[in-house]
Structure 1
């Protein structure tokens, strides 16, 4: 009696099937948040606590969101290096190079408005850049290597500022001793003196480029120059323009270039023993009026919070829009987060690890593998020298932000956080 046999089997197996189905449903509802396992998200706090106890950092903020919903936002350790004030969730951190993506978005919005073009020569805005020289190595008849200057093969374009292919550099990373000395003596980054916009451009253009424009990725003061271009185009000081065009529309209420009185008690400080503390403080000068005697640093000057930067990153993940406010078009964001340095020398490996190219203002993952941490092709990220970092994974719908005041240990903390983010993702 086949029908009876099937009925009997169904009666026997139905409770087991219901139990298994119920278990899966219960686990999904009670044990996960937007595909992150709650038990795995719970790993983050003890790991951060261990880092604080180890002396890696005074404290940290960690934030993870998926599909626009925050699934994890916790404060760890302390706000101050003396470890007397618990870290608040609205702590203010120096963003340093996480300023660059903000400036990139502001500049790209001007491109969308037809007020700027990536093809524009930089000399169109600052004629001092018209006749640039390039320091290059040549061999003499005896086979000895010497360095000399040659004319730039082509102009520096606005695109080069976005993707670090201008031939400009930073003092500490300049490839030749002569360039390091020249950048240092001229105080290009305005560490020891107050360089106006005009003086900054004058001194910078008197120094040869490190590479021919458009041939190599070389981390540089290019975003400081791009900030000056924004000022030329808009007629506004950079910090004021970013406030009106980006920070206010996105509700980034604690993002600024100068600590306000209500923020001073929330400012996160690194250990006094951190070897990078003083030079970074001189670079960002968080308590000084940004529009004083010194040019506004478009590459490093922003102060922000984890929640504010999440809003900016979520806007990019959404394709340029947040809470009904559109900052960029969907195609501009896709263009920004595409690799722009195909076939060129150099890479951002020393900053974000292997496996990444570079878009317009941030690193872009080239493949599933090849990196130090899990990720997805096309995920984008960029860190700050003070110990902050963010990541956007469009394939998975993830935004991750970590804020620490720990310059000397920044590589450790940013990679550790990415491992924890992807380690908690189960669905």
Structure 2
């Protein structure tokens, strides 16, 4: 889940198990409200298995229920070469888990009456007023039948894409123009995007893409602040997410987990990408996938959602606005992932009401409003694989005592 140019970037080690249970082996909270301890232990055993089998270098897992941290464990290593364990303050690349944060940030301005969800994007970014739509059947450019709206941006139904499809004409233009790259400010990139035809008529098709980055730019337009400052003011400072941002400053880089991928024989190896974009203040602040965070920080974001927009006496959003974010907002006739639903900046499980999203380095989070629960499982592995995390979520949900 990354942009084409900037979001894509285990050897069994003696003593690995020494690091699997440190603060890692503690259960936080005096009691588990309505959750089976034994079932959670089984869930953690499965996570440990990924480490023992060399499938992942390290995992940080956390479960919050009814505002109590009922599970918080770290497994394995953040840095194999230097034998650094995953710890509570390990910093992860969250990539597309930045999207829900951007949605929340923009919706703080909704609460202030700065826009309506069905306002046209061109009201705030005039360059999109006449952006045409490419028709692959006629190979002609057409006018937008329904103008692109902010709701379209936040639900990935805007007609914008990521440029991943090697056979699609519009995607080829993304690659040719560098529309998804790091090499210019957010405003400059948005203007390039406005000059490329849309892949679909707005409101007709769900396709993952740079929509949330454009939503981030609307935050800048409406607030008069760069997106990093806006996030800090509206989200990170109020929620005390002190280690979250768009890069890891030098003073914290010792806590930054190594990004791993699989070698030819399936062994874990450090990525060849030096991650310069995460180790210095970037030129472009990507609300779609440029964030870093810790498990503690992101759990506070999740708790705010579960609490209806408030945490520790600080209100970030109105409760009704949180309900909008965490409920299906797709245009009529459009679905996500073969029948699924999508809220604002994240997917919604139509059966359980769970809201959440993942990141390219195999990070995952779920906010479960019915059970007042936040579930997080963070690692650093590419290519994207959250099978370990979805299994953990299922195991935790099954541990709830009915």
Q: How does the TM-score come out when normalised to structure 2?
A: 0.86
Partner of 1:389, secondary structure, is: strand
CA contact (8 A) 1:277 1:407 kept: no
Determine which of 250, 255, 258 is the counterpart of 1:269: 258
Superposed CA offset, 1:258-288 (max 9, x none): 2123321111122254799869876x82112
Superposed CA offset, 1:369-403 (max 9, x none): xxxxxxx2x11111111111111111111110111
Partner of 1:51, secondary structure, is: helix
Aligned to 1:363: 347
**Alpha-carbon separation, structure 2, partners of 1:196 and 1:120:** 24
Partner of 2:73, secondary structure, is: strand
Matched, 1:285 2:282: no
Query: 1:45: how far off?
Result: 3.0
**Alpha-carbon separation, structure 2, partners of 1:279 and 1:104:** 31
**Alpha-carbon separation, structure 2, partners of 1:279 and 1:179:** 29
Aligned to 1:416: 391
Determine which of 286, 306, 313 is the counterpart of 2:302: 313
Partner of 2:385, secondary structure, is: helix
Determine which of 220, 237, 246 is the counterpart of 2:226: 237
**Alpha-carbon separation, structure 2, partners of 1:236 and 1:101:** 19
Superposed CA offset, 1:20-79 (max 9, x none): xxxxxxxxxxx9711111111112332122101223211010000110100000000000
Partner of 1:36, secondary structure, is: coil
Aligned to 1:167: 159
Aligned to 1:157: 149
Superposed CA offset, 1:274-333 (max 9, x none): 799869876x8211213xxx3211101111011111101111101110010001111111
Which is richer in helix? 1
Matched, 1:335 2:324: yes
Superposed CA offset, 1:227-286 (max 9, x none): 11111111110011110111011111111112123321111122254799869876x821
Partner of 2:230, secondary structure, is: helix
Q: Point out where structure 1 has 5 or more consecutive residues left out of the alignment.
A: 1-30, 139-145, 368-375
Aligned to 1:94: 93
**Alpha-carbon separation, structure 2, partners of 1:408 and 1:42:** 28
Partner of 2:286, secondary structure, is: coil
CA contact (8 A) 2:92 2:256 kept: yes
Partner of 2:74, secondary structure, is: strand
Matched, 1:68 2:67: yes
CA contact (8 A) 2:364 2:386 kept: no
CA contact (8 A) 2:120 2:147 kept: yes
CA contact (8 A) 2:347 2:357 kept: yes
Matched, 1:297 2:296: no
Q: 1:356 to 1:81 in 2, by over 3 A?
A: farther
Matched, 1:388 2:388: no
Aligned to 2:214: 225
Determine which of 160, 169, 175 is the counterpart of 1:178: 169
Query: 1:346: how far off?
Result: 4.4
Matched, 1:48 2:37: no
CA contact (8 A) 2:187 2:217 kept: no
Q: 1:416 to 1:409 in 2, by over 3 A?
A: farther
Query: 1:85: how far off?
Result: 1.2
Q: 1:216 to 1:177 in 2, by over 3 A?
A: closer
CA contact (8 A) 1:65 1:398 kept: yes
Q: 1:277 to 1:103 in 2, by over 3 A?
A: farther
CA contact (8 A) 1:81 1:272 kept: no
**Alpha-carbon separation, structure 2, partners of 1:342 and 1:272:** 37
Partner of 2:64, secondary structure, is: strand
**Alpha-carbon separation, structure 1, partners of 2:369 and 2:47:** 26
Bigger CA drift: 224-233 or 201-210? 201-210
**Alpha-carbon separation, structure 1, partners of 2:40 and 2:160:** 42
**Alpha-carbon separation, structure 1, partners of 2:186 and 2:256:** 28
CA contact (8 A) 1:66 1:397 kept: yes
Query: 1:119: how far off?
Result: 2.5
Q: How many residues align?
A: 370
Partner of 1:303, secondary structure, is: strand
**Alpha-carbon separation, structure 2, partners of 1:253 and 1:65:** 19
